Amino acid sequence: MTSGTRFLLAARQCEIAELEQLARTSALVGVIGRFVHALQRERGMANIFLSSRGARFASQRTQQVADGAAAEAEVRAAFDGLDTEDAHARNGSRLFSRVALVLHALDGLPRLRERIAAQALRAGEATAAYDKLVAALLAVVFEAADAATDPEISRALVALFNFMQGKEFAGQERAFGARAFAAGTIDAAGQEHWRHLVAAQEGCLQVFTDFSDAEVLQAERAAQDPEALAQLERLRRLGFGTRGALDAELSDAWYAQCTRRIDGMRALEDLLAARLRGLCERRIAQARTELRDQRTMLEAFAAQARAADPATLAAYGPHLERSVLALVQEQARRLQAMGDELDEVRASLNERKVVERAKGLLMAHRHLSEEDAYKALRQMAMNQNRRIVDVAQAVLSLAEVLPGG
Amino acid sequence: MTSGTRFLLAARQCEIAELEQLARTSALVGVIGRFVHALQRERGMANIFLSSRGARFASQRTQQVADGAAAEAEVRAAFDGLDTEDAHARNGSRLFSRVALVLHALDGLPRLRERIAAQALRAGEATAAYDKLVAALLAVVFEAADAATDPEISRALVALFNFMQGKEFAGQERAFGARAFAAGTIDAAGQEHWRHLVAAQEGCLQVFTDFSDAEVLQAERAAQDPEALAQLERLRRLGFGTRGALDAELSDAWYAQCTRRIDGMRALEDLLAARLRGLCERRIAQARTELRDQRTMLEAFAAQARAADPATLAAYGPHLERSVLALVQEQARRLQAMGDELDEVRASLNERKVVERAKGLLMAHRHLSEEDAYKALRQMAMNQNRRIVDVAQAVLSLAEVLPGG
């Protein structure tokens, strides 16, 4: 085997190793989805419990905490199963660093639950703590999507990440609405925040739609009950459509309606995660078959070259050489095409990064909260009739030229 | 040690492994630079030799072929030294696939040289063959730059890659000009091609300048002899400034002038490669020190926690926990900032990819040569007063919406 063909096969083996790592992180994503779902329920219940001064959802909350323990154990086990000894894990530094953040946030969870049970903190504070933990878990999913080198898998991960993030905004809306209804009142800032949560959901679900195939989109439509959606919109109208007093009795109905929708999303999320695992397995099997075929072909070429007498070799040698060259060129072309497609898929991840960076800049320099920074970007985008990512890019460019910016 | 801190240290170890791999590919880049330089000289001499029907540069060319053998052996040894068994090599599939292409191109080199010696092909054909081999070698450098995860190293690799690519355009100009002078005539298409080679050089060197620090730029200025540059410009004017017959006697002067400039570039390239290696070493040493400090700190925390009596622990425990959390958060922030910076540096690589993709599209659909596809893009950019990358992006977007595009 010439050294050229050694590199040809090594390239294919690297591809397989990358796919195997993607399969492992994809499995992790599924486990994270289950735990996030439990935390989202727990957050919603904690909100009603605290807003109603312990009058509602006391036992359901305790039960939910107990139910979430299995999912937490699964996540911890999945993290423990990550090979931290493999210093060559793709994107390992960022992934492991995100995992460390999650584990530290998890260590604070028992204390948070104690304080909620003792009603020692406000509903908004409890929400913020859960939001942070869920954000840390979703950041692990984002790193997994960011590390994907196969365009088809990257596409599936981008769709799944945006779906999970959209579901999280739906969960935040559930908690916020439940708190507002239970409190029986809402002010202008609260209404604005509620609207923001709806818009953010819709933005994420739009990206999910853009990156999903017909089968997934059909499953999504099938999972939606139009009547339930109409109910939700009616409650939204009663919740933030008009200012002032809210009907506290609607708190349970709101929680139940949102929960029906979010549980439906959870089922679809499971489907997406299962399809992702299936996709990884198919791509690995395919790459292995191709590696085997390639190796067989190269060995046949080599055997022919060895067996041939000088005259035959003179005639066939260039032919064999051209066959190997065709293989090498075909592989380079395929990787190039995959890289091009990957760049396109990743554009949506990069857009998210640009927005995050602009948010960070506004937070640091204008002393805004994360949410207010996002709102400022959204407002600028609306005023200028531009996309948020374009406004974010403009903010970053401006910062580069402004002194001390 | 908690599992959170295990991931903290594992993240740092991944960073070190990534830096070590970068150091290895950076060393490879230096070796490739030497061999490309030898091939560039050989190409220039082959052009004069063939254009003068063997009258000029016969012995110099034979000598240059012999001189290039050491550099080729170095490249082959460096490739052999790549760990193809490590299927987790970052970007391994693309890098190894590029190496396979180079090795196959190298296998054709002896036959190319025989045909040149026998004057069995035209100067243009010989040039095209050398151009292809050099392009394959530079593609390896591009993959190395594309795989860099450290923004500072990525910046240095982007600068070096563009400098090498700019030097290659200078080498192509030397060969083309030498052929034109030696032939004693140039037509409109030849003049246009010559202008294109000058513009392409300047574009690459502009990116190099944008990505270089003051020290490198000073070294670049010091390496340039203003008088030699003026000479070069005068010869360019005589070469493609006016149509028609060229003074064949200027062929040697042209070759010598270009060679002086390109040899100066080669010296600077060596400096850049040495600085890159130094940078990798410093970053590795720094990351190792930080890992050791972090480990010491975490062990001290753990020892304090074990040694403390329950009362002290109750008082210090949360403090220790906060210290660890601060470490974890600091690391996540640092990686985030590095990722942001990396995205910015990589924008220039992505621009190159967009242009390459648009070129490929034009080649496939309008049946243009690579050079003509690039010229078409450049012409559109000039007509529309836009950057080439923006025109390339527009071409790609258009292709998506056109039927059968």
User: Of the candidates A86, A104, A357, which has its C-beta nearest B4's C-beta?
Assistant: A104
- Among candidates A189, A186, A274, A188, which has minimal Cα distance to A235? A186
What's the average model confidence in pLDDT over A224-238? Answer: 89
| Percent of chain A residues topping a pLDDT of 90 | 39
Cβ neighbours of B101 in A, within 8 Å: 328-329, 332
Tell me if ipTM is over 0.85: no
Confidence at residue B83, expressed as pLDDT on a 0 to 100 scale = 76
Q: Are A41 and A64 within 8 A, CB to CB?
A: yes
Using only C-alpha atoms, chain A has a radius of gyration, in whole angstroms, of 26
Q: Looking at the complex, does the CB of residue A357 fall below 8 Å from at least one CB of chain B?
A: yes
B240: number of Cβ within 10 Å: 23
A47: number of Cβ within 10 Å: 30
Q: In tens digits, what is the pLDDT along chain B, a chain of 405 residues?
A: 466 788 888 888 888 988 888 888 888 999 999 999 999 999 999 988 998 899 989 999 999 999 999 999 999 999 988 877 666 666 778 888 899 989 988 988 999 999 999 999 999 899 999 999 999 999 999 888 887 888 889 889 989 999 999 999 999 999 999 888 988 889 888 888 898 899 889 989 998 998 898 999 999 988 888 888 899 999 999 888 777 788 888 888 999 999 999 999 999 999 999 999 999 999 999 999 999 998 888 888 777 777 766 666 566 556 666 777 777 778 777 777 777 777 777 777 778 778 888 888 888 777 888 878 888 888 888 887 778 888 888 787 766 655 443
Q: Looking at the complex, does the CB of residue B8 fall below 8 Å from at least one CB of chain A?
A: yes
Confidence at residue B373, expressed as pLDDT on a 0 to 100 scale = 86
User: Of the candidates B84, B85, B104, which has its C-beta nearest A325's C-beta?
Assistant: B104
* Closest residue in B to A10 (Cα–Cα): B84
Q: Looking at the complex, does the CB of residue A5 fall below 8 Å from at least one CB of chain B?
A: yes
Q: If you ran DSSP here, which 8-state letter would residue A88 be given?
A: T
Token representation of residue A228: 């339930």
Cβ distance A3 to B104 less than 8 Å, yes or no, reads no
Cβ distance A96 to B8 less than 8 Å, yes or no, reads yes
Q: Are B251 and B48 within 8 A, CB to CB?
A: yes
Interhelix angle A151-183/A310-366, nearest 10 degrees: 20
pLDDT at A240 over 90: no
User: Of the candidates A16, A100, A321, which has its C-beta nearest B4's C-beta?
Assistant: A100
Per residue in A281-336, pLDDT (tens digit) is 999 999 999 999 988 888 887 777 777 666 665 665 566 667 777 777 787 777 77
Q: 3-state SS of chain B?
A: CCHHHHHHHHHHHHHHHHHHHHHHHHHHHHHHHHHHHHHHHHHHHHHHHHHCCCCCCHHHHHHHHHHHHHHHHHHHHHHHHCCCCCCCCCCHHHHHHHHHHHHHHHHCHHHHHHHHHCCCCCHHHHHHHHHHHHHHHHHHHHHHHHHCCCHHHHHHHHHHHHHHHHHHHHHHHHHHHHHHHHHCEECHHHHHHHHHHHHHHHHHHHHHHHCCCHHHHHHHHHHCCHHHHHHHHHHHHHHHHCCEECCCCHHHHHHHHHHHHHHHHHHHHHHHHHHHHHHHHHHHHHHHHHHHHHHHHHHHHHHHHHHCCHHHHHHHHHHHHHHHHHHHHHHHHHHHHHHHHHHHHHHHHHHHHHHHHHHHHHHHHHCCCHHHHHHHHHHHHHHHCCCHHHHHHHHHHHHHHCCCC
A315 phi, psi to nearest 5 deg: -80, -40
What's the average model confidence in pLDDT over A245-260? Answer: 89
**Domains observed in chain B:** 3-283 (no CATH), 308-401 (1.10.10.10)
Cβ neighbours of A79 in B, within 8 Å: 3, 7
Listing DSSP states for A121-180 in one string gives S-HHHHHHHHHHHHHHHHHHHHHHHHH--SHHHHHHHHHHHHHHHHHHHHHHHHHHHHHH
Cβ distance B96 to A7 less than 8 Å, yes or no, reads yes
Q: Are B202 and B163 within 8 A, CB to CB?
A: no
Cβ distance A331 to B100 less than 8 Å, yes or no, reads yes
* Closest residue in B to A87 (Cα–Cα): B14
Cβ neighbours of A96 in B, within 8 Å: 7-8, 10-11, 14
pLDDT greater at residue A357 or residue B46: B46
Cβ distance A335 to B93 less than 8 Å, yes or no, reads yes
Token representation of residue A60: 């359901």
Q: Which amino acid is residue A24, in one-letter code?
A: R
Burial classification of residue B61, based on how many CB atoms lie within 10 Å of its CB (0-12 exposed, 13-18 middle, 19 or more buried): buried
Cβ distance B353 to A331 less than 8 Å, yes or no, reads no
Q: What's the gap in Å between the CA of B307 and the closest CA on chain A?
A: 21
Cβ neighbours of B2 in A, within 8 Å: 103, 107
Residues B274, A227: Cα–Cα separation, whole Å: 69
Distances (CA, A) of B209 to A236, B156, B219, B222, B258: 56, 11, 12, 14, 21
The 3-state DSSP class for residue A290 equals: helix
Confidence at residue B358, expressed as pLDDT on a 0 to 100 scale = 84
Most B CBs within 10 Å, among A79, A96, A111, to test the B interface: A96
Confidence at residue B332, expressed as pLDDT on a 0 to 100 scale = 77
Confidence at residue A176, expressed as pLDDT on a 0 to 100 scale = 92
User: Of the candidates B3, B98, B340, which has its C-beta nearest A103's C-beta?
Assistant: B3
Confidence at residue B2, expressed as pLDDT on a 0 to 100 scale = 62
Confidence at residue A405, expressed as pLDDT on a 0 to 100 scale = 36
Residues B79, B73: Cα–Cα separation, whole Å: 10
Confidence at residue A89, expressed as pLDDT on a 0 to 100 scale = 65
Residue B87 Cα to chain centre, angstroms: 24
Within 8 A by CB and 6+ apart from A56, the residues are: A48, A49, A182, A251, A252
Q: What's the gap in Å between the CA of B131 and the closest CA on chain A?
A: 17
Residues A19, B206: Cα–Cα separation, whole Å: 38
Residue B106 Cα to chain centre, angstroms: 19
Distances (CA, A) of B272 to A57, B25, B29, B211, B320: 66, 14, 10, 12, 45
Q: If you ran DSSP here, which 8-state letter would residue A244 be given?
A: E
Where do runs of H (alpha helix) occur along A184-249? 188-210, 214-223, 226-236
Q: Looking at the complex, does the CB of residue B363 fall below 8 Å from at least one CB of chain A?
A: no
Q: Which amino acid is residue A166, in one-letter code?
A: G
pLDDT at A404 over 60: no
Confidence at residue B135, expressed as pLDDT on a 0 to 100 scale = 93
Q: What's the gap in Å between the CA of B137 and the closest CA on chain A?
A: 14
* Closest residue in A to B101 (Cα–Cα): A328
Cβ distance B14 to A149 less than 8 Å, yes or no, reads no
Q: Are A52 and A306 within 8 A, CB to CB?
A: no
Confidence at residue B18, expressed as pLDDT on a 0 to 100 scale = 86
Q: Looking at the complex, does the CB of residue B385 fall below 8 Å from at least one CB of chain A?
A: no
Q: Are A263 and A170 within 8 A, CB to CB?
A: no
What end-to-end distance do the CA atoms of chain A give, in Å?
Answer: 58
Residue B290 Cα to chain centre, angstroms: 31
User: Of the candidates B11, B88, B93, which has its C-beta nearest A97's C-beta?
Assistant: B11
Strand pairing of A185-186 and A244-245? antiparallel
Token representation of residue A142: 């984002």
Cβ distance A104 to B12 less than 8 Å, yes or no, reads no
